[in-house]
Amino acid sequence: MKAKTAKETVDLYDDLGNCVGREIPLQALSPLYNPYMREVLDLFKRLAVIDLGKLEVLMKKGMAGWETVVGQDENRMPWYGRDLPLVDRAKEIVERIKEKVEKYGDGEPLVEGAGKYIIVKIPRRMMEISASRDPTLTWTAVALCQAVAETFNMTPETDPDGCNMLKGAVFGRYPQSPEFPPGGPVSTFLKQSNTVDGLGSGFKAIMVNHLVALCNKRTLDAVALTTILEQAAQWEMGNALGWFERYQLLGSAYQGFNANNLVLDLVKENREGTIGDVAYSVVRRALEDGVIKVKRTLPSGYKIYSTNDYPLWNAYTCAAVLAAVIVNVGASRAAQSVSTVIGYFGDLLLMETGGLPDPDAGRVEGTGQGFAFYTHSIYGGAGPGAYTLDHVIPRHGSGFVGPCIVAGMCLDSGTQLFSPEMTSASYFKIRERLPLLHEPLKKVAEAAERIKPEVMKG
C-alpha cells in the first residue's frame, strides 16, 4: 500500500443511508484484520448441514449414488429400502452426533437441530491440525452414519444391506467417484475441496443462491457477505498483495460496504433511470470528488479524463457497476440481465472518460461478456443464481463480479427457474439459526470500529 494512504479512511453506510462507521481505516476492512470477517470465514469453513428429511426419503426409496443434482433418481433400489423415521427421532440423532463431536470443542455448542435439519460445526481443535477444511464434510458424514446406525441398531449382523444403503445414501459413490452426491443429505457451505480448482478459490466455492438465501434477499447485506468471501479468496490466491492491497481494499469498501454511501447515492439518483445514467452519474461524482479531472479537450469538444489515483477511480467504477445492476434489475425485477450489465457497463465508461480503465481494468467487462454468452440463447440460458462463484465462467476478476450477481438475484421477483427458493430452501431455514450472518454490513462496520485505534496506531 502507498505510504501516504496508510491512514486513509472511509465512512460506511447501511442500506437505509445511515452512517454505521465513521472514518474507518481501510486496513480495518481487510479480512486479515477485521474480526467479524474472520468469524464469518471461520463459520463458512467449519459448518455442515444435515438434511434428515432427505436422508429419510433416500433410505425409504433406496436411492443412492447419483452423479448430477438434477438426476437424483439415477439409481433406485427399493429392495434395499429402509423405512427409518429419522425426522421423528431427530432429537436422539442430534444427541448422538453431539456426543461424538462436541467433546473436542472448546465449550461452544457445535451441534444443533433445526426441524429436519441438523447444523454441525467442527471443533477448532480438529480444524487446526487439519491440512484442509475437509473434516467439515468427513466428520459430519461419519458422525451421521454412526448416529443413525446406533439409533436403529444397524450392524453387519442385524442389517447388512441397510448398512450399505446408509453408506450409499450419505457418501454416494465416494471414493470411486471423487464427489459426494450433489444435493445429498450432507452439505457444507463451501464445495468440497477436491472439486475446487484454482489455488485460493475455496471461499468462492459457494452457490450464488445460497448467499442470497443466507441474507434473506436483502440486497446490500448479501453484497457485503459476498464481498467478505470474495476478498478472502483474493488474499488467499495472492491477488491482494503489494501493488494490489489498496486497490482491493478500496474496491471492496466502495462496492461491498457502501463506503461514503456511493452505491446508495447512485441508486437513488437513478431510481427511475437507465444503466447509462448510472455511468454518467459516477463520472460526475468522480469529478466532484476530484478523483478524475479533464486532461485535455479534443477538437470536437470531447474531453479526455485522467486520474492520479486509479485504485480510487476503480473503486468508484466497481460501486457504479453494482449500482447499475441494482437499477436495471430493480426495474425489471428479473435477474437474467445481471451478466449483461456487468459485461457492457465498462464500455460506456470507456467511451465517456476517453479511455480511463473500466471496473477492475476490464476484467469485470470480460467476465461479464463470457457470462452473458453462457446465460443467454445460443450457448445456454443458465440461471445466474445456480452458478458457484468459483465456476469457470464467473470466477475471473478480483472479487468485484460476485457481489453484482448476488445483488441481481436478491432483486429477482420470481422469474428464475433456478430460484433461491428452489436451490437453497434449506439456507433460508439455516439462516435463522445463524445470528452471526444477520446484518453483515453493519457488523463489518462495527468490528472495524472496534479495531480502529489499533489499526490507526499502525
Q: Would you please indicate which residues are annotated as catalytic (active-site) residues?
A: 379
Question: Residue 216 contacts by C-beta under 8 Å, 6 or more apart in sequence?
Answer: 428, 431
Among 85, 178, 355, 380, binds another protein (CB under 8 A): 355
Distance CA 8, CA 219 (A): 27
User: Residue 416: which of 123, 152, 214, 213 has the closest Cα?
Assistant: 213
User: Residue 344: which of 368, 327, 313 has the closest Cα?
Assistant: 368
Q: Cα separations (Å) of 159 from 93, 146, 149, 154, 172?
A: 19, 14, 10, 5, 19
- Does position 247 bind another protein by CB under 8 A? yes
- Residue 31 has, within 13 A of its CA and on its CB side, a CA count of 25
Residue found by looking up cell 467511451 in the block: 351
Tell me the closest approach of the beta carbon of residue 16 to another protein, in angstroms. 5
Single out the segment in contact with another protein by CB under 8 A; choices: 20-28, 129-137, 159-167, 340-348. 340-348
- Does position 210 bind another protein by CB under 8 A? no
- Does position 291 bind another protein by CB under 8 A? no
Total site size for another protein, rule CB under 8 A: 84
Closest to another protein by CB, 97 vs 224, is 224
- Does position 275 bind another protein by CB under 8 A? yes
- Does position 187 bind another protein by CB under 8 A? no
Single out the segment in contact with another protein by CB under 8 A; choices: 27-35, 104-112, 225-233, 323-331. 323-331
Per the DSSP assignment, residues forming a β-bridge with 294 are 305
User: Residue 420: which of 384, 366, 456 has the closest Cα?
Assistant: 384
Tell me the closest approach of the beta carbon of residue 146 to another protein, in angstroms. 38
For another protein, the binding residues in 17-76 under the rule CB under 8 A are none
Tell me the closest approach of the beta carbon of residue 396 to another protein, in angstroms. 12
Single out the segment in contact with another protein by CB under 8 A; choices: 35-43, 80-88, 100-108, 273-281. 273-281
* Angle, vertex CA 155, rays to CA 151 and CA 160, nearest 5: 125
The answer to whether 320 and 282 are in contact (CB under 8 A) is yes
Among 32, 178, 198, 302, binds another protein (CB under 8 A): 302
- Does position 303 bind another protein by CB under 8 A? yes
- Does position 283 bind another protein by CB under 8 A? yes
- Does position 285 bind another protein by CB under 8 A? yes
- Per DSSP, the residues of 158-226 read T-HHHHHHHHHHHHTTTTTSSSPPTT-SEEESSPPGGG--STT-GGG-SBHHHHHHHTTT-HHHHHHHH
Neighbours of 337 (CB within 10 A): 20
Distance CA 309, CA 303 (A): 19
**Dihedral angle of Cα 239, 245, 249, 251, to the nearest 10 degrees:** -60
For another protein, the binding residues in 1-20 under the rule CB under 8 A are 2, 15-16
Closest to another protein by CB, 140 vs 340, is 340
Tell me the closest approach of the beta carbon of residue 312 to another protein, in angstroms. 10
Among 60, 76, 218, 433, binds another protein (CB under 8 A): 218
Distance CA 232, CA 113 (A): 29
- Does position 277 bind another protein by CB under 8 A? yes
User: Residue 275: which of 418, 408, 416 has the closest Cα?
Assistant: 408
Tell me the closest approach of the beta carbon of residue 193 to another protein, in angstroms. 29
- Does position 439 bind another protein by CB under 8 A? no
Tell me the closest approach of the beta carbon of residue 305 to another protein, in angstroms. 10
Q: Which three cell numbers stand for residue 422?
A: 428452489
Closest to another protein by CB, 125 vs 271, is 271
- Does position 296 bind another protein by CB under 8 A? no
Single out the segment in contact with another protein by CB under 8 A; choices: 29-37, 93-101, 341-349, 432-440. 341-349
**Dihedral angle of Cα 121, 123, 124, 128, to the nearest 10 degrees:** -110
Tell me the closest approach of the beta carbon of residue 100 to another protein, in angstroms. 36
Single out the segment in contact with another protein by CB under 8 A; choices: 47-55, 75-83, 91-99, 244-252. 244-252
Single out the segment in contact with another protein by CB under 8 A; choices: 31-39, 131-139, 194-202, 265-273. 265-273
**Dihedral angle of Cα 265, 29, 346, 375, to the nearest 10 degrees:** -100
For another protein, the binding residues in 378-437 under the rule CB under 8 A are 378, 410-411, 413-415
